[in-house]
Structure 1
Amino acid sequence: MSTYRIGIDVGGTHTDAVLLDERNQVVSETKSPTTEDVATGIYTALKKIIGDANVPREQIKYAMLGTTHCTNAIVERKRLNKIAAIRIGAPATLAVKPLVGVPDDLREALGKHVYLVRGGHEFDGREIVSLDEAHLYQIANEIVGKVDSVAITSVFSPVSKSHEERASEIMKEVLGDDVAISLSSEIGSVGLLERENATIINAAVVNVAKTAADGFINALKNEGIEAKVFFGQNDGTLMSVEYAVKYPIFTIACGPTNSLRGASYLTKSSDAIVVDVGGTTSDVGVLIQSFPRESSLAVEIGGARTNFRMPDLISIGLGGGTIIRIKDNGEFTVGPDSVGYRLPEKSLIFGGDTLTTTDVAVALGKVELGDASKVAHLDKELLNKVYVKMVELVEEAIDKMKTSSEDVPVILVGGGSILLPEDLKGASEVIRPQHSGVANAIGAAISQVSGQVERIYKLVELTRDQALDIAKDEAKQEAIKAGADPNNLVIVDVEDVPLAYLPGNATRVRVKAAGDLAQVEVNELV
């Protein structure tokens, strides 16, 4: 019996959807406007691809969703959980309180129940002081009924997580299983404040992720589909619903990442630069061995510095709906604002009143779309200058992402990629694959499942090889927990950095394992 899978990616302008067969060939695809409530856009796209494909619903076994729900909730400060933030690190860390440097409105939303508890570890795994369990019981009893999520961060928990785990046990004992608990050792890397911020943000968006998951599963059920549901995460792989609700922060920036994975799949390229041109922005990222290059910098989310893994991307304000403003003296500006999903009503070629990048491309005969006669009166010489500027913006972004002066392959994807020419400076070739407009949804549908660990090991107790073997096993276990098939896991990334500033010959090891989806019978989820 044939099996099918659905991939859906929710962007700022469009919600893209594809239905793939068991050979991962596109059976049907669609783009529908992203709606304010997000769910309606998903319903519409889902209905369209299923109706167009006309395949038996019981043969659709998997459904993958890449979503901006969690990013939007943090940026807009809406729909966030009522959280408690517990830092285990007194008296060592009293000088800098939790949520320092976070914007005031976010601190106000998330900083109502903040506690500092005695405990934590040194960088070599020794206890600073023993964990104050009595204080933790007191906190748990104080927050009963006031919070629905708890973020626990302990000093140097990536080295020793025992205090975080014990604190979690105490919280569960008093608060019950309905209160979600986020542990920093499972989310961020070594730096305390950034890891704490990432954990607090993770705790704050648990309900948003749960709502998105329930909404997606119900949308599928309404169409008569009982599929196993997965969420896209921002390293270009998938995670099960249960895992996504526990670690919703990993969905942040999964949209551009899905586009990179889709671009790699559609072109069979493992190393290239990908330019994903949407309606509002263009995201430029780098493929290394078919996966997105990871950022090595601390990343700001909603104004809070965090240090969990994120793809290395440059976003520029250039998309299909970007507004062009021309002044009387012939000077002009390109964006950065956009008409976004209102392009079909706002741009000149569709009878609107706003000059956009799409109008420029149509007027210059580079794209066939809408009614070209509506832009025929525009000054071609000036539009050529605008077009050169548009292309330069993309070429600059490509140049910033390159690690050498060599020309590299550039893959163009996204609905707005029709605006760009066949030649770009810095590109050895420009590839525009078939189905490039829905590369993000394809990327969500074809992705593997991964697990990643980052730990500090002391090489006085272990050899380097033993430390790497332990980390590889842990990464594989994480991948299996996220929904990967245990029989075909591969290690896709290993990094170890000697930490010269720590005694005991310490090294920081990061390992990622990935594998195909576990083939399981579809059962009721969530």
Structure 2
Amino acid sequence: MRIGIDVGGTNTDAVLLDSATVLAESKATTSADVTSGIVDAIGDLQRQHPFEPSRVRAVMIGTTHFINAIVEANRLCSTAVIRLGLPATAAIPPLVEWPERLVTAMNGTAYLCHGGHEFDGSLIAPLDRAELDAVTRQLADNGVRSVAISSVFSPVNAELEHEVASLVADRVPGVHVSMSHEIGRMGLLERENATIINASLRELADHVCTGLASTLAEEGFHAPLYLSQNDGTLMDVDFARKYPVATFASGPTNSMRGAAFLSGIDTCAVVDVGGTSSDVGILQSGFPREATSEVDVGGVRTNFRMPDVLSIGIGGGSRARRENGHVTVGPDSVGYRIREEALVFGGQTTTATDLAVAGGMATVGDPDAVRHVDEATVREGLALMADEVAGLVDRMRTSPAPLPVVLVGGGSIILPDELGDAPKVLRPDHYSVANAIGAAIAQIGGEVDRIFAVDQGRRDAVLDEAKQEAADSAVAAGAEPGTVEIVEVEEFPIAYLPGNATRIRVKAVGDLSLQDD
């Protein structure tokens, strides 16, 4: 058996799985301290299907802790960035165009030092030891607790980042170090930004991971704990402590992976409807399609792995009203207060859920409480929500061919069984906890993303090398060797690099290696 948990802003969802069978599911209110909400959800699972904690072989959690900390500019530690690139890159220093509130929250400081590489791997300039000695003294004097290190073209050659990271760790005891070649992709500023964000979250990651592990231990669980990553795979607690940014999109990713598992469709559009918003993403071969452009996180441009998701302010708690003869739904929402404010629960606010109940699409709360709602308002409101979401699905398509749509999330009761020109619309069993199921069934992944020299006649050999490296990486991360498969291969010839340089990205996934469930 395994337990999957997804901590959202409104609800904490949990499921108990035995292989592919859902034994119990729970939806508890997310608590301010998060951990008590998790305990409540696990307790509910226990009441529905009594089990011994010792029989649980793994616990998987998706959490919004870290993305919320960036959005709220809260709980960030004192962070400095060291960029290796002088005499180049001086025109645009680190932290350019960052929101002031974020820079202030992390007490951000930046240092430009000599180093870095050209696109062909040759040195821009050697490291300046005296310069780095001065920087490390300032780091210690200023009480910096986390350092982000970025070097020009470090995905081509990461040697200098490793060297400076070792120096910083020696000179500033106890400091956390994040290196850009491990965080982002090609593109200095975006990769550097992602690394700074990761560095600012390292202390919080320690605190959260320790708290989650302690909470589970207190509840009698001794199974390994894993956190969900942006790409739909898992990472263990130690990895999560080092790379908290890898969890940023775990919520929508878990929902999409859960949708694939529950529906049996691995290529489709997924609409995840919560209390405040609806997220639309595309599944390709069972995994979320990744964003190919830069990703904005809290007002900062980054380029780490994130699913390609579009959101709209329509959810189960969205306020519905008639203004100037027209019905509007959202973007404002009663959110987690829906059980207090929605009409069907005895409140005074007309919400999207009330429209769905009044229209006969859902049976929650007290249907008599919405009998007075104007029929035209119900009809127009439901049509508006369906049209808005269908338009979002259309925007996500990359070809004229319509895609089947899978609806998940507790708020999906507000959407009809037909959306636009979708050939099929499914709302599978356990749809309301698809996010927790996605966490529970997540696999272990390994990825290679770097530049290879592809000599004439050696393309297949280079690709095989990259695939083997990705597979080995998945096994090293905890995947069962016999289950590893290559799910994605991308090639990007780089015309301005010598030696037939090609950026090759390979992703491998495999089932989590555990004892028999």
TM-score where L is the length of structure 1: 0.95
| 2:48 aligned residue (52, 55, 60) | 52
In 2, the alpha carbon distance for the partners of 1:490 and 1:460 equals 26
1:494 counterpart = 2:493: no
Paired residue for 1:357? Answer: 352
Give, as a single letter, the amino acid of the residue that structure 1 aligns with 2:353: T
1:215 counterpart = 2:211: yes
Helix, strand or coil at the partner of 2:255 = helix
Matched ranges for 1:32-43 at <5 A: 32-43=28-39
1:200 counterpart = 2:203: no
| 1:341 aligned residue (336, 344, 348) | 336
Matched ranges for 1:169-208 at <5 A: 169-176=166-173, 178-208=174-204
Superposition deviation, residue 501 in structure 1? 2.7
In 2, the alpha carbon distance for the partners of 1:487 and 1:158 equals 30
The answer (yes or no) to whether the contact 2:78–2:107 under 8 Å persists in 1 is no
Paired residue for 1:286? Answer: 282
Paired residue for 2:145? Answer: 148
| 2:366 aligned residue (371, 374, 390) | 371
In 2, the alpha carbon distance for the partners of 1:227 and 1:489 equals 23
Give, as a single letter, the amino acid of the residue that structure 1 aligns with 2:364: L
1:439 counterpart = 2:434: yes
Superposition deviation, residue 462 in structure 1? 9.6
Helix, strand or coil at the partner of 1:209 = helix
The answer (yes or no) to whether the contact 1:272–1:410 under 8 Å persists in 2 is yes
| 1:396 aligned residue (381, 385, 391) | 391
Identity of aligned residues (%): 50
Superposition deviation, residue 420 in structure 1? 1.3
Q: Greater CA deviation, 396-405 or 498-507?
A: 498-507
Matched ranges for 1:259-278 at <5 A: 259-278=255-274
The answer (yes or no) to whether the contact 2:249–2:306 under 8 Å persists in 1 is yes
The 1:243–1:123 alpha-carbon spacing in structure 2 relative to 1, beyond 3 Å, is same
The answer (yes or no) to whether the contact 1:398–1:426 under 8 Å persists in 2 is no
Paired residue for 1:5? Answer: 2
In 2, the alpha carbon distance for the partners of 1:175 and 1:128 equals 26
1:464 counterpart = 2:459: yes
| 1:246 aligned residue (242, 248, 257) | 242
Q: Greater CA deviation, 271-280 or 211-220?
A: 211-220
Per-residue displacement from partner, 1:166-187 (whole Å, max 9, x unpaired)? 11111122224x3221110011
The 1:245–1:281 alpha-carbon spacing in structure 2 relative to 1, beyond 3 Å, is same
In 1, the alpha carbon distance for the partners of 2:54 and 2:17 equals 14
1:119 counterpart = 2:124: no
Helix, strand or coil at the partner of 1:427 = coil
Superposition deviation, residue 310 in structure 1? 0.7
Number of positions where the alignment pairs a residue of Structure 1 with one of Structure 2: 516
The answer (yes or no) to whether the contact 2:382–2:415 under 8 Å persists in 1 is no
Give, as a single letter, the amino acid of the residue that structure 1 aligns with 2:411: G
Per-residue displacement from partner, 1:474-522 (whole Å, max 9, x unpaired)? 3234323433234432221111100113333221111111111122699
User: Can you give the 5+ residue segments of structure 1 that lack an aligned partner in the other structure?
Assistant: none
Paired residue for 1:14? Answer: 11
Give, as a single letter, the amino acid of the residue that structure 1 aligns with 2:495: A
1:91 counterpart = 2:92: no
Superposition deviation, residue 366 in structure 1? 1.6
Per-residue displacement from partner, 1:192-219 (whole Å, max 9, x unpaired)? 0000000000111122222222222122
Superposition deviation, residue 37 in structure 1? 2.6
Helix, strand or coil at the partner of 2:425 = strand
In 2, the alpha carbon distance for the partners of 1:53 and 1:271 equals 33
Helix, strand or coil at the partner of 1:408 = coil
The answer (yes or no) to whether the contact 1:330–1:382 under 8 Å persists in 2 is no
1:503 counterpart = 2:494: no
The answer (yes or no) to whether the contact 2:95–2:110 under 8 Å persists in 1 is no
In 1, the alpha carbon distance for the partners of 2:33 and 2:54 equals 28
| 1:104 aligned residue (100, 104, 122) | 100
TM-score where L is the length of structure 2: 0.96
Paired residue for 2:78? Answer: 82
The answer (yes or no) to whether the contact 2:471–2:484 under 8 Å persists in 1 is yes
| 2:293 aligned residue (287, 293, 297) | 297
Give, as a single letter, the amino acid of the residue that structure 1 aligns with 2:89: T
Paired residue for 1:131? Answer: 127
The answer (yes or no) to whether the contact 1:119–1:131 under 8 Å persists in 2 is yes
Give, as a single letter, the amino acid of the residue that structure 2 aligns with 1:117: C
Per-residue displacement from partner, 1:455-478 (whole Å, max 9, x unpaired)? 112335993334333433432343
The answer (yes or no) to whether the contact 1:99–1:111 under 8 Å persists in 2 is no
The 1:112–1:462 alpha-carbon spacing in structure 2 relative to 1, beyond 3 Å, is farther
Helix, strand or coil at the partner of 2:506 = strand
In 2, the alpha carbon distance for the partners of 1:241 and 1:514 equals 19
Helix, strand or coil at the partner of 1:467 = helix
Superposition deviation, residue 392 in structure 1? 0.6
Paired residue for 2:224? Answer: 228
Paired residue for 1:330? Answer: 325
Helix, strand or coil at the partner of 1:501 = coil
In 1, the alpha carbon distance for the partners of 2:456 and 2:205 equals 40
| 1:412 aligned residue (407, 416, 419) | 407
In 2, the alpha carbon distance for the partners of 1:110 and 1:467 equals 42
Helix, strand or coil at the partner of 1:510 = strand
The 1:122–1:82 alpha-carbon spacing in structure 2 relative to 1, beyond 3 Å, is same
In 2, the alpha carbon distance for the partners of 1:209 and 1:269 equals 34
In 2, the alpha carbon distance for the partners of 1:516 and 1:367 equals 37
